[in-house]
Amino acid sequence: MARVELYQFAHGAKQWHFTSARKAVTHNDVTYYPVRGLSRSNIEDADIDKCEVELTFSHPDLLKNEQEQSFTQVFLNKIYLESVYFTLIELDAGESLVLFKGRVAQPKFDDRDNTMTLICSTAESFMRRKILTRKYQRTCMNNIYDKFCGLDFNEWSFEVTVTAIDGLNVAYTVNPTQVIDENGDPVFEQVPVSDEFGEPVLDGQGNPTYTDGDPVMEVKTYPAGWLNRGVLQKDGVYTFIINSGSNSSRLYREHIGLKVGDVVQTGDNIGYVGSTGISTGPHLHFEVWVDGQRVRPASVKLPSKALNASDAEVLRTYLKPTGKAAKTIQL
């Protein structure tokens, strides 16, 4: 079979399936129907938080699904905007690849040419912040992980070497990292100090002295699901990880230029921003309580180093009943 494109649209329980092929195509037990005059633009991916594609349909009034439900009718009511999900799939020689996944952001109708154009955007665009959104919320002027941001991605990430790429699935091995002690200091092998005659150098109490040798390295293991909604970073570009195993991850979309043998960084998101309760938009709710009373965060002296192993375990146990909070905090 020659290369064809498959177009999936979903609005609630309603679905429509179209194809660029001249005849109907069945893929994964779903039939995609040809649409005369269907065309699309190139996928515009100039910025992290803006990835768009435009689809143009001729004679849109004729577009219906197997249940005879009108496709055009969905876009005649503004309350339905951003609720129509779109997936673009490339099918070539029996193999499929998701080229684009997002929502319909804006429909345009041209009565003179009798066409309908749909502007579709990815999920990052609807967050209204770069990151992977590079911004925490609209009022934040800083880019996440840049020189003005207080977060260091290296503190939340680890290096892996890519071993295989299958569509959006990336397999890798975790690279060794230096062991860190409970005080947050790197650990080195201890090498005895000898004098010029090969005799051990002793301290004032007659004990042998030591100096730092090679770094003590370890290969950490990460359970399946640890990086769900985390990120993969290569050459300064971040891509969402939507699912992960112990040595593999599935990306939200293709990371351009990623190839087997690359050493990349993967890291967990440190949290999520949403709009719940009485609020005017996405925000981070942060407060500090001391002895049952709210206090100004700036007035509280916080630890300057990472928690030691025993304190970290106490905190994990305390957070465990909340489930989600424990999962998004990395100690």
Q: Which of these three, 127, 159, 175, is where a domain ends? A: 127
Whether 170 maps to a domain, the answer reads: no
CA-nearest of 155, 85, 76, 145 to 109 is 76
The three-class DSSP label of residue 229 is: coil
pLDDT at residue number 135 = 36
Domain count, the chain: 2
**Residue 48 is assigned to a structural domain of this protein:** yes
Per-residue pLDDT of the chain (331 residues; tens, 9 = 90+): 678 999 999 988 899 999 999 999 999 899 999 998 899 998 876 554 567 889 999 988 889 998 999 998 888 765 555 578 899 998 887 788 888 888 888 888 888 889 999 988 876 555 543 334 333 344 555 555 566 666 666 666 788 899 998 888 999 988 888 888 888 788 999 999 998 888 889 888 888 999 999 999 988 777 777 776 677 878 767 777 878 887 888 887 777 778 888 888 777 555 555 555 555 566 667 777 777 777 777 677 766 566 677 777 766 665 554 433 333 333 3
Amino acid 230: pLDDT: 74
Pairing of strands 30-34, 14-19: parallel
Rounded to the nearest 5°, which phi and psi values hold at 320?
-55, -40
35 in Cβ contact with 21 (< 8 Å): no
Residue 19 covered by a domain: yes
CB atoms within 10 A of CB 32: 23
Q: Which residue has the tokens 């779903």?
A: 30
Report yes or no on whether pTM surpasses 0.75: no
Domain that holds residue 298: 288-328
Q: Which residues of 137-157 are buried (b: 16+ CB within 10 A; e: fewer)?
A: eeebeebbbeeeeeeeeeebb
Residue 45: predicted pLDDT: 66
Residue 232 included in any domain: no
Task: Name the domain boundary from 77, 107, 127.
Answer: 127
Residue 303 lies in a domain: yes
Is 207 part of a structural domain of the chain? no
Using the 3D structure, point to which of 127, 158, 189 is the last residue of a domain.
127
Measured from the Cβ of residue 126, the count of other Cβ atoms closer than 10 Å reads 13
- Is 117 among the domain residues? yes
Residue 176 in any domain: the answer is no
